Amino acid sequence: MPDLIHRARQRLLSRAELDEIAAKLEYQETFDELSDQLLAMQLAGDARYRRAVERYLSFRGRVTAAARALRVLCFDWKLTEDYFEWLIGFIEGVDWDLAFGTPEVRTQAFHLAGYHLQSTRSRRLLGLLVQVAEDPCEQPSNRGDAGRALMSAAGVPAREVPLELSTADPGWARAVRDATDRLRSEPEPPPTVERRPMPRLVQLPDYVGEFLPDPEAASDLVERARRNELPQAELSAVADALRRRASGPQVRAHLMVMLYAGQACDADAAQTYLTSAEPDVAGLALLVLCAGWKLTTPHLDDVQRLVRHGEPPQRRLALSIAGSYLATRRSRPLLELIVSLAEDAGQPEAVRAEALSAMHRAIDGFPGGLIIDLDEQETARAWTDTRLRLQWE
């Protein structure tokens, strides 16, 4: 599409041509020309094509396309208020947003948030940026991106915001301090438009499939939860039943409902099962909290406990969660535990292989589960990069 892109830059595309590109974006099943199509929308389209572009906000197959879709909608078409919930969700982070170790969509979201806060008040958005910037469990690059966003929010001209910002930089500390001061009086105005919700349907990480019960045995309640068809009253009833300490098949079904359709405000309903005497129930509770609701940070002790003492399936699950967590977050105790298992000649070979795979997952830069059959080069890189990381983790 080189000629099309050139004409889009010159704003020479006809309405019929733009309509055709939008129709392809909305309904196509192959995506060979996706980058050029989105670029054409960015250069020459307008907000009437939002539905065609919106489809790609959750496009796992190509994170660069999701990042561009977010930019088109929020920056080029000035629809940040409409997609505010998406912006918040991407700043919080999604599991599939990794490309060569870099969170493409999250980085774009930080940039857009800073730009948005130059002219708009939002205690929720500003507070989230400060939270990420100050969180010691965040990777340094993410804390730096949050700091850069806070600099932009304070009105620092784009040309003066560094491309990379270290947390040791005085500019980072100043940006966080100024944002914290601003938060004291920052309001949360009501939305000016009807905001597009980020889908409530849980998008589970790819690695969870092997740990889920047989889908053929799923109850109607679980299936309705998976399809996002349960009303809030039924979800609340399931959470209350878990709080009353359900048992047997019922607890497994109820945990699956919470995994697919629950909300993190019901975390206490699942937490009590982390120490269940039934290993599969304890593992399922960890899956709900960490893979489903992204609450790994407050449950790192539970992850480490199952890594150390879990039955083989639960240990593998905990190591999968650990590797996925460490790909985007920091925890020296968790990383040291994984290294110690991989080094321990007294451990079964399967345990050492899974621990090594978790190390590889932590530095690999791509979403997914454990890869047990690492080749010689992958093994060497896992050890080298992990030892380097331990110097600053």
* Whole-number pLDDT of residue 45: 75
* Whole-number pLDDT of residue 313: 94
For residue 251, what are its two tokens? 């607890």
Taking 80 as the threshold, does the pLDDT of residue 200 lie above it?
no
Q: Which tens digits make up the pLDDT trace of 255-309?
A: 999 998 877 788 999 999 999 999 999 999 999 999 888 899 999 999 999 999 9
3-state secondary structure of 270: helix
Q: Mind listing the domains of the chain with CATH numbers?
A: 2-183 (1.25.10), 206-390 (1.25.10)
* Whole-number pLDDT of residue 263: 76
Q: Which tens digits make up the pLDDT trace of 109-129?
A: 999 999 999 999 999 999 999
Mean pLDDT across 230-242: 90
Mean pLDDT across 15-36: 91
Contact between 210 and 369 under an 8 Å Cβ cutoff? The reply is yes
Q: State the Cα angle at 266 between 265 and 270, rounded to 5°.
A: 140
CA dihedral (272, 274, 280, 285) in degrees, to 10, reads: 80
DSSP, res 179: H
To the question of pTM greater than 0.85 for the whole model, the response is no
> What residues pair up with 329 in beta bridges, in sequence order?
138
